[in-house]
Amino acid sequence: MNSITNEDVMKEHMENLSIREDDKILDFGCDDGTFTIPFARMLNNNGKIFAMDSDASKLEKLRDNAIKAGLEDRIQIIQTNNKLVIPVDDESIDTTLLYNVACCIHGKENQEDLIKLIRDIKRVTKESGRLIINIKGKHIEKRIDSAIPEIQTYFKLEEKEMKKYFLKDKGERYRFFYYLIKKE
């Protein structure tokens, strides 16, 4: 079987995003920086990635990794305390990443949280800015697909892409990307 790895999928995905060196990126639910660090490498000193998460220990690991990589000036770490309010200026973000953030996308029981989050993402996103949702697994795909009509109140779905990859220790996986553009 000629499979691609998770790293291959993400590298190709990032290359196709046309991130500019001076972009402002929001990584909501950044965890320990799995995606924050690679995106920060794409930026120059005028670019910035706002890395938000509620887990202080994960953010501390991200801080350590950013320092080791020499990227601490490009990453602003924000602890959210489980709030879905984004503490950045209106229309200041070029691209928002919701990568593997299933906490707000679990279906009807979290619909209010999802709507609140998407509204705040719209508030901070520049005109023609992007929202990119990345999930792993077909079971979460159905949850996202059911939320897309609500999300499309604020963002236009440009494309949905599926990539299949194979992890030696975990078997075959699917990764889905939803590319959305802010509506006026």
List, for residues 17-71, the tens digit of each pLDDT value: 888 999 999 999 999 998 899 999 999 999 999 999 999 999 999 999 999 999 9
Name the DSSP class of 108: G
Across the range 89-98, mean pLDDT stands at 96
- 108 domain-assigned: yes
Model confidence at 1: pLDDT above 60: no
Contact (Cβ atoms closer than 8 angstroms) between residue 134 and residue 173: no
- 88 domain-assigned: yes
The pLDDT, as a whole number, for residue 112 is 78
For residues 175 and 44, the model is more confident at: 44
Sequence-separated (6 or more) residues with CB below 8 Å from residue 7: none
For residues 164 and 49, the model is more confident at: 49
CATH code, domain carrying 171: 3.40.50.150
- 120 domain-assigned: yes
H/E run at residue 157: strand 155-167
Q: Which of 155, 143, 146 is nearest to 117 (CA)?
A: 155
pTM: 0.87
- 1 domain-assigned: no
pLDDT mean across residues, the chain = 84
Task: Report d(CA 106, CA 172) in Å as an integer.
Answer: 23
Sequence-separated (6 or more) residues with CB below 8 Å from residue 22: 43, 44, 46, 47
- 16 domain-assigned: yes
Total domains present in the chain: 1
- 21 domain-assigned: yes
The pLDDT, as a whole number, for residue 68 is 97
Domain ranges, residue 157:
6-182
113-149 pLDDT, tens digit each: 888 888 999 999 999 899 998 887 766 777 777 778 8
- 106 domain-assigned: yes
98-118 pLDDT, tens digit each: 988 765 555 566 777 888 888
Task: Report d(CA 123, CA 38) in Å as an integer.
Answer: 25
Determine how many CB atoms are found less than 10 A away from the CB of residue 81.
Answer: 8
- 104 domain-assigned: yes
